[in-house]
Amino acid sequence: MTTIRTFEDYQQVYRNSVEDPESFWAAVAEDFQWHRKWDTVLEWDFHKPEVKWFSGGQLNITENCLDRHLATRGDQTAIIWESNDPAEESRYITYREAYHEVCRVANMLKANGVEKGDRVCIYMPMIPETAYAMLACARIGAVHSVVFAGFSSGSLIDRINDAGCKVVMTTDGSYRGDKVIQLKSIVDEALEKCPTVERVLVARRTGTRVNMKPGRDAWWDDELKTVSSECPATVVDSEDLLFILYTSGSTGKPKGMVHTCGGYMVYTNYTFRTVFQYQEGQVYWCTADVGWITGHSYIVYGPLSAGAITLMFEGVPSWPDMGRFWHVAEKHRVNIFYTAPTAIRSLEKAPLSYVKQYDLHSIKVLGTVGEPINEEAWHWYHEHIGRGQCPVVDTWWQTETGGFMISPIANITKLKPAFATLPLPGVQPAVMDENGKELMTNNIEGRLAIKFPWPSMARTIYGDHQRFKDTYFSTFKGKYFTGDGCRRDKEGYYRITGRVDDIIIVSGHNLGTAEIESAIDEHSAVCESAVVGYPHDIKGQGVYAYVICYDKPHEEENLRKEIREMVAKIIGPIAKPDKIQFVSGLPKTRSGKIMRRILRKVAEGDTGNLGDVTTLLDPAVVDEIKAGAL
Ligand code: WT7
């Protein structure tokens, strides 16, 4: 038994999944089209670390997302697309149309020299073509690396070079509220430093004038004129790469998390159907961008493999006004709505009339993801969007986990505001104390680890398996360390309390403090910087930067502006510091390690008790920092 319809089912299924994980996942995997069934369900060793699911199995994930639905629901909508501009017509793409579009794009890739195993960078906005691009790569066994289209050319360079991408897929421009972003020119700038890229395929979206480099760049619509709308799926192994997706590390450059085909397909499909309790014909809307793992797993692969109707929204929640989400939800009679706490908090601040003017009765299930949700936002969401009648599934997971890990199951798990509640089938959490011992009882707090593999876990960091081991498998021997702190209450419910490392989550975007610091340090006036997060009403966390300059700045405001622009240029606008405090020194230990604990306290406005500062090299800097706090 794998299907869950009652809480007793959940308990039974969970128990089976832990006692005999292989039989459990084999039963789930039976529901897919395989060219060849697996030889072994699971091989693993967390010390190496090595994990293989459905080894020997052969498949193509796009046959499970598209082909297999043609007979049963070929004319059903697969993707509803809603434009940034409310006046532009929505698009309704059936499974059959999606199938042919993906085949055409796949043939275009082939015609441009893309082969199995090649890496393709996708730097595109929220349009159906972006989903086709991902699936087209998967169709021919190429590996996609989607880079969020809000990232700057600097971030794009790092990601293209790290993966050694051969082709970039992009658009002329993209819309964001009332702004047009020149995507193609950002790509042009990046490619001056990306020697591996041979071809750039450009879809039209904004009609913006662009430069096309002869021999390198081609218009997508021209290329599609000559290709067939059938493309046989390349049969791949379960453990072949499906995609690379970059996520921030607490130090160094972003990590290219590697996900593979078989396990990822099985897990995203199962968790999508289970957590949302998706029912045939329901309209499902996840507001994330496809540039993040949420978009990969729960806009594209999970919903499509489940034959769902998935809504893709190009716009932003605040334009043309703060009612846009609710307008779209009413317009398309959305049944399942999945968004981020940061969006909820910003919409909660707007007058309630923006919600009240729309009929949201179609909504049956609500979800959140990306960061801990505060109770106030949870209640607002539950009451005003869910009419007090819809479950809120607070899904805890990560880019690295590929799919939901700890989450309520809609209408089945008893909810507790701000709790991700209970582990899903196959997920075995462990709460660890500071000494690396697992806490076996309830009503405890510690660091969250996972002690057994699940099918969609990342297999490695692209090109750096040692870093994969060091980051995730060295803190607690034989366990996967999540980087999060958590509490397990008397009932065994989990509440995620946030990162315990140097990663900050700004509006649901995962940013490494080291990354932001190195961008700030690029400014010629800056000698050194330290970045911490601080509580921010809407974004969850804001970016607070302490900056040391070579010379005391004359025009502080100007310099702040330049530093912010520098960060936007190197990483992207999401990483811009909200506050910049100029300081003459940083609190460092004798070994030179910055004591971020102190900086965090000051940034939080808590300057009363900074704890022990006696190990500092120069305790006097602390007084200066306190005095200048913003
Ligand atoms: C980190 C992962 C999972 C897709 C989006 C973010 C935080 C995520 C929750 C939640 C509390 C959460 C964690 C996690 N996080 N969901 N429901 N409750 N915290 O993916 O960028 O890889 O970030 O987001 O800190 O480690 P990501």
Please write the tens of the pLDDT for every residue from 403-433. Answer: 999 999 999 999 999 999 999 999 999 999 9
Residue 368 forms beta bridges with which residues? 339, 394
Tens digit of each residue's pLDDT (9 = 90 or more) over 350-394? 999 999 999 999 999 999 999 888 888 999 999 999 999 999 999
Pick the residue with more confidence: 206 or 586? 206
pLDDT of 110 over the 70 cut: yes
pLDDT of 592 over the 70 cut: no
Rounded to whole angstroms, the Cα distance separating 146 from 154 reads 15
pLDDT given for residue 316 in this prediction: 95
Buried/exposed code over 25-38 (b: 16+ C-beta within 10 A; e: otherwise):
bbbbbeebebeeeb
Tens digit of each residue's pLDDT (9 = 90 or more) over 6-44? 999 999 999 999 999 999 999 999 999 999 999 999 999
Looking at every residue in the chain, the average pLDDT score rounds to 95
Rounded to whole angstroms, the Cα distance separating 548 from 550 reads 7
Buried/exposed code over 108-129 (b: 16+ C-beta within 10 A; e: otherwise):
bbbebebeeebbbbbbbbbbbb
pTM above 0.95, yes or no: no
Tens digit of each residue's pLDDT (9 = 90 or more) over 227-263? 999 999 999 999 999 999 999 877 778 899 999 999 9
pLDDT given for residue 591 in this prediction: 65
CA dihedral 582, 584, 589, 595 (to 10 degrees): -10
Please give the average per-residue pLDDT across 320-337, as a whole number: 98
Tens digit of each residue's pLDDT (9 = 90 or more) over 33-87? 999 999 999 999 999 999 999 999 999 999 999 999 999 999 999 999 999 999 9
Atom of ligand 1 nearest to the CA of 505: 24
> How many angstroms is it from 367 CA to the middle of ligand 1?
13
| Beta carbons of 571 and 538 less than 8 angstroms apart | no
Residue nearest atom 20 of ligand 1, based on CA coordinates: 398
Pocket of ligand 1 (CB under 6 A): 247, 292-294, 369-372, 394-399, 420, 482-484, 496, 498-499, 505, 510
Both tokens assigned to 510? 């995962």
Rounded to whole angstroms, the Cα distance separating 203 from 165 reads 18
User: For the chain, which domains are there?
Assistant: 7-316+395-461 (3.40.50.12780), 504-627 (3.30.300.30)
Using DSSP, state whether 74 is helix, strand or coil: coil
Q: Among 238, 232, 223, 162, which Cα is nearest to 197's?
A: 162
Mutation to probe ligand 1, out of 297, 339, 496, 507 (largest number of atoms < 8 A from CB): 496
pLDDT given for residue 512 in this prediction: 83
Residue type, 423: P
Place of tokens 């490695």: 460
